[in-house]
Amino acid sequence: MLLNKMKTLFVPTLVSSLISLSSFASATETYVEPLPLKNNSQASFNQTDVANSKMRIAYLPPATEFAYYMAIGEGIKNLANEASVDTFMLAPQSGADINGQMGMLQDVIGQGVDAIIISTHDEYAAAPLIKRAVKSGIVVISVNSDVRSFPTPIHGVVGYSQRNGTRALGKYAVSINKGQTKKVAIIEGQPGYHSTERVEGFLEGISGSGFEVVSMIDGKWNVEGGNTAAMDLLQATPDIDMIFAANDYMIMGAALAAKALGRQDIQLIGNDGDTAALEEIHNGRLQATANTTPFIMGRIALQVAIDSLKGNFSGGWVETPAITVDSKNAISFLSQPNKLYPKPSKQY
């Protein structure tokens, strides 16, 4: 089964290199052991039980407004069909609706599901309900996270290493410039763990290269914020020749600013693997991104939940792939629209 032994399924070690995959949901290399959770965050499996004749597993993302979480859901549905388990999704429309998500979590616990795959913007608000779910025998898996500590014990964590993914991007940026130094601006997300990890990873990747980071500014995680930040950066420091943004929405906003200012010479690097960003890379308007493969993440999260219920997973954090993508391999992802959400704008 999965993970306590070596298993052929997906490849977490893809994070460190530029790879073209013919099928990025069917790579068959060994899957490494998960890393243990920290600070008494590992829930016991002694109480877990399959209450339904057919496994019933709920997926609770923070909101439907985020395409990334819908892509994770597509991966969950994809494997559910193969594994003959019942899955369903509940989520509020807005990521700011924490109370709405908590109400849905409470409802799901009352429905007697066998497992819950959850990502939340407020782990502390979710902790009392997750504690109740675990106590009632429900397996709880946190998805799209690399945080190995949780306010209350859970059974597993599934997600890419944000720092590893952007460190690889930094090294890629150095490699394509072949010893040339660059003046780099960084567009951060709103302050917090995710922005810090992504920015620090990129800085580690370019360390010792001679690249000079001339400015860092908050882009608020969205296209408009990235556009405003890049416009300010490029007007205040016109000799910038590379921008790294902590997500693809912000770098796509930066691309609009660069176009408006007639700056075709700037290397633009993002993070996430959003479908629109992959298309912009293929079309030459962005340099690169870290494709954090949410479809694969969804499949892995469901497999971990299934194996937890079968007694074949003993807990920990499972690192999922983050693959550096540029114009050389973007097509290998765009040509598989059934593994992307939203779908590409055209057939590749």
Q: Would you kindly state where each structural domain of the chain is located, as residue ranges?
A: 7-160+293-339, 163-291
Q: Name the token pair of 92.
A: 């509020």
Give the pLDDT score at 194.
93
Rounded to 5 degrees, φ, ψ at 273 are: 90, 30
Q: Please tell me the predicted confidence (pLDDT) of residue 13.
A: 35
Residues 6 or more apart in contact with residue 312 via CB below 8 angstroms: 1, 2, 3, 4
CATH T-level assignment (fold) for domain 163-291: Rossmann fold (3.40.50)
Find, among 336, 332, 262, 323, the residue nearest to 292 by Cα: 323
Question: What strand order describes the sheet that includes 212-218?
Answer: 212-218, 183-188, 242-245, 267-269
Report which of 165, 128, 172 is spatially closest to residue 150, judged by C-alpha positions.
128
Q: Cis omega before residue 342 (within 30°)?
A: yes
The architecture in CATH of the region 7-160+293-339 reads: 3-Layer(aba) Sandwich (3.40)
Residue 108 is which amino acid? V
Question: How high is the pLDDT of residue 3?
Answer: 38
**Which pLDDT score is estimated for 50?**
81
Q: Are strands 115-118 and 56-60 parallel, antiparallel or unpaired?
A: parallel
Cα→Cα distances 230→218, 220, 247, Å: 10, 12, 13
Q: What is the pLDDT of residue 53?
A: 79
- Specify the pLDDT at position 31: 46
Phi/psi for 72 (5° steps) reads -60, -45
Domains 7-160+293-339 and 163-291 share a fold: yes
Token couple for 172: 């890629």
Residue by residue, pLDDT tens for the chain (348 residues) are 333 333 434 433 333 333 334 444 443 233 458 999 998 999 999 877 787 779 999 999 999 999 999 999 999 999 999 999 999 999 999 999 999 999 999 999 999 999 999 999 999 999 999 999 999 999 999 999 999 999 999 999 999 999 999 999 999 999 999 999 999 999 999 999 999 999 999 999 999 999 999 999 999 999 999 999 999 999 999 999 999 999 999 999 999 999 999 999 999 999 999 999 999 999 999 999 999 999 999 999 999 999 999 999 999 999 999 999 999 999 999 999 999 999 999 999
Q: Please report the pLDDT score of residue 242 as a whole number.
A: 98
